[in-house]
């Protein structure tokens, strides 16, 4: 039976690891804050003492951390993933990082005889809980197929892209579009509200037209009621917007609307809203 590791038990990781356990898989977990392992231990998970130990004990190890710096520290740091990589070990990074960081980790895994797959996800807290995430993968194709049963427990669809780094690039493109959509949505709600149009009416009209979408249906009522409980923290969206802009620089592609949206997320972070849901950018736009 394949033994799985899972590193990083935040908003997303906890739910994803729980779905692996619910699927009957053998899972060893680790988190920087050990207390976060307890709910998963209650579901049958083993607890590892370090990332290196988890990787050494498992066949395939998943990692879900917040940003490129955290991903690099988890991998290259003392007691980190790299220390546990030997021939035959497999590492799947499902964090959202820049392509450069992903490629650096891939080279280090391959140099030790291991296999690497980048598999960032499209989705937030609820899809993670429901097992309906979308995985955007590139790297070792044999590992993609080998990890597919676990990916299927955590998500509804997995894509594979031939070129290393393209999983990370796809995730940044998707989040850039989503982040820009949210700022336009928030501006529309704010303008309508100031014009005396009820937000509930605006949302109802939106559901009847071509721009109806799950994000507007979910986030709109929450924004109107002032509920910004984090499903995807704003600080992470701003990080992804920044990385997307860097990707634009790499390919010489101007990103006018994304740059403007990024400034709004920066404004909201500076107002102390980084840990709230990314929809809290609405408050920065409305001047609240």
219 tagged catalytic: no
Alpha-carbon 89 to chain mean position: 23
Residues 72 and 102: their CA atoms lie apart, in Å, by 9
The helices-and-strands tally (H runs, E runs) of the chain is 14, 9
How many CA within 13 A on the CB side of residue 81?
35
Indicate the SS3 state at residue 138: strand
Residues 121 and 192: their CA atoms lie apart, in Å, by 33
Other C-beta atoms lying within 10 Å of the C-beta of residue 277: 23
Question: Catalytic pick from 14, 89, 125, 171?
Answer: 171
158 and 148 Cβ atoms separated by less than 8 Å? yes
At how many degrees (to 10) do helices 234-251 and 166-194 cross? 120
User: What is the set of active-site residues?
Assistant: 171
């Amino acid at each position: 039976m394949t033994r799985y590791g899972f590193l990083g038990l935040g908003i997303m990781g906890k739910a994803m690891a729980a779905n692996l356990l619910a699927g009957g898989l053998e899972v060893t977990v680790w988190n920087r804050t050990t207390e976060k392992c307890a709910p998963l231990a209650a579901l049958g998970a083993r607890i590892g003492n370090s990332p290196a130990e988890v990787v050494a004990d498992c066949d395939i190890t998943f990692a879900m951390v917040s940003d490129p710096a955290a991903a690099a520290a988890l991998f290259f740091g003392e007691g980190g993933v790299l220390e546990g990589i030997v021939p035959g070990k497999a590492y799947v990074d499902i964090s959202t990082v820049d392509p450069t960081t992903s490629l650096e980790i891939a080279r280090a895994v391959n140099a030790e005889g291991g296999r690497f797959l980048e598999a960032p996800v499209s989705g937030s807290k609820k899809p993670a809980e429901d097992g309906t995430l979308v995985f955007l993968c590139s790297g070792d194709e044999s590992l993609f197929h080998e990890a597919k049963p676990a990916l299927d427990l955590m998500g509804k669809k997995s894509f594979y892209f031939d070129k290393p780094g393209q999983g990370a690039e796809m995730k940044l493109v998707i989040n850039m579009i989503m982040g820009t959509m949210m700022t336009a949505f928030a501006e529309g709600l704010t303008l309508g509200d100031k014009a005396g149009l009820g937000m509930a009416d605006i949302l109802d009209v939106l559901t009847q037209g071509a721009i109806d979408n799950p994000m507007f249906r979910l986030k709109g009522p929450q924004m109107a009621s002032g509920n910004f409980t984090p499903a995807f923290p704003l600080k992470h969206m701003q990080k992804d917007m920044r990385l997307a802009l860097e990707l634009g620089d790499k390919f010489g592609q101007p990103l006018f609307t994304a740059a403007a949206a990024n400034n709004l997320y920066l404004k909201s972070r500076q107002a102390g809203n980084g840990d709230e849901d990314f929809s809290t950018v609405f408050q920065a736009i409305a001047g609240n």
